[in-house]
Amino acid sequence: MALSVHGFLNARLFTDIIADASPEQNLTSGAGTAFGFEADNSQNVVPVYLKFYNSISVSVGTDAPTWVFMIPAGEVRKGCFNSRGLGRVFATGVSLCCVTTGGTGGNTSPTNPVKVSLATN
């Protein structure tokens, strides 16, 4: 995990080089805004599901995610939380994980590393 501050928005770019079922919790240290992400699933032969939670503490497989994005096998995908660049407010905090099944119940880590970068403030 790495965290750095970049750019004119004073946004923080969080990068997890091995996103898996172990959640990265409370990335914004409380309430914050998520602007966009990039997920690199190029090392896997099956899709993965990038889950975002409006929570500071997550139980993967039990807690319902706020957003779920499917990242196809062997691909890198970018996404944004608002097409006008305003981002999406997470009133409690931003947490994320990456698993092999969508929905609430998925809790199995991908076989190979998935790199996820997330711009927040």
Residue 2: pLDDT over 70: no
Residue range(s) defining the domain that contains residue 107 = 2-120
Give the contacts of 44 (CB within 8 A, at least 6 positions apart): 73, 74, 110, 111, 112, 114
Tokens representing 78? Answer: 């970018």
Number of domains present in the structure of the chain = 1
Which CATH number fits the domain that encloses residue 101? 2.60.120
What's the pLDDT at 12?
87
Indicate the range of 19-23, 61-65, 86-90 predicted with least confidence: 86-90
Instruction: Determine the average pLDDT of the residues in 28-55.
Output: 96
Averaged pLDDT, 114-121: 94
